[in-house]
Amino acid sequence: MSGNTRNIDLICPVCNTKQSIQLPVDLIANNIKGVSTIAINAQCGHSFHIFVDKNFAVRGYQRSDFDIQLDTAGTVEREPIQDLSLSAVVRMFGEDAFVHAMHSMLLGQKCVLYGSDQQILKSLFINFIEIFEREIGDSADALEIMSKDEYESINPVMYSNDLVIDLDFSVVKVDPFNDKLKLERDLLKECLDVKDVEAQKNLFKEKIAKIFLYANVILNFINMGTTNFKDIKKAMKQTNKNIPQKDLQLSYEIAQHRYKKYLK
């Protein structure tokens, strides 16, 4: 890494060639959205977009539909990504699909989003990442987006253990959880019931952050050999008796899943 740039490794989504590029540190680190969309003309000759967070982790790839050659006077203006409210993101996902994606992010399990409208894919991807930015810092590959054609060309076995969402129809195509996700639905409803749209998102992010914090505390208990939920709940209630039961239940589920994942 030089003084003003940083190397990141890429895998071309077209030919799977591994390569590296240099990105300007200030441009990425100071992006207020948290995720930067960058057009790549790769060493292998293919063009695609990458999504890079403030920690220089590649969050996803997207193939370019067209390669445009410009003369020296030509310019291309990319449509800016709109900062969406929580309710808007949920509507575009579909509530059931959003809840599943939310669950997947908390567990650190891969979630694949595909659809036909590339701009909607980009917008949802970046806004969703922004909501869960702190919680998926250790899961750079937790969310992946691709076109419908690309997904349909892939062997379905490749994502048989991952959450797959079809954004064209707002449906969950592959569900590895087999769970009604009542705790997540209740949490989301509580936030969406807030009238102010900005307050909705802030409350949601605050609740997710607390649940993730509780999950990390529970993970420490599990690492030290205390695995019974009642024992963990009793110990945590002694420190903070106001922790909601639902939050503890969800946090315990997250901690258990992440612990099993770390053991693999």
- Evaluate whether 108 touches 136 at the Cβ level (below 8 Å): yes
* DSSP code for 79: P
In-domain check, residue 232? yes
In-domain check, residue 73? no
- Cα–Cα separations (whole angstroms), residue 41 to 10, 19, 46, 60, 144: 12, 11, 6, 16, 20
Position 3 scores a pLDDT of 58
- Evaluate whether 130 touches 143 at the Cβ level (below 8 Å): no
One domain, residues 151 and 222: yes
One domain, residues 153 and 249: yes
In-domain check, residue 204? yes
d(CA 97, CA 167): 8
In-domain check, residue 80? no
One domain, residues 158 and 243: yes
In-domain check, residue 29? yes
One domain, residues 246 and 195: yes
DSSP helix/strand/coil, 199: helix
Per-residue model confidence as pLDDT tens digits over 151-160: 888 888 888 9
Q: What is the pTM of this model?
A: 0.76
Phi first, then psi, for residue 251 (nearest 5°) are -65, -40
Regions in the chain scoring below 50 on pLDDT:
1-2, 66-79, 140
One domain, residues 14 and 126: no
Position 103 scores a pLDDT of 93
Q: Residue by residue, what is the 3-state secondary structure of 142-186?
A: CEEEEEHHHHHCCCHHHHCCCEEEECCCCEEEECCCCCCCHHHHH
Position 1 scores a pLDDT of 46
One domain, residues 133 and 237: yes
Position 158 scores a pLDDT of 87
d(CA 217, CA 185): 23
Position 73 scores a pLDDT of 40
In-domain check, residue 71? no
One domain, residues 94 and 195: yes
One domain, residues 39 and 151: no
Amino acid making up residue 156: P
Which CATH number fits the domain that encloses residue 254?
A: 3.40.50
One domain, residues 39 and 94: no
Structural domain boundaries enclosing 32: 5-63
In-domain check, residue 115? yes
* DSSP code for 241: T
DSSP string, 22-49: EEEHHHHHT-TTSEEEEEEE-TTS-EEE
One domain, residues 52 and 91: no
Position 16 scores a pLDDT of 78
One domain, residues 238 and 126: yes
Position 100 scores a pLDDT of 96
In-domain check, residue 163? yes
**Quick one: CA dihedral 210, 216, 217, 222, positive or negative?**
positive
List the one residue out of 127, 89, 106 whose CA is nearest residue 177: 106
One domain, residues 188 and 257: yes
How many domains would you assign to the chain?
A: 2
List the one residue out of 125, 131, 123, 95 whose CA is nearest residue 112: 125
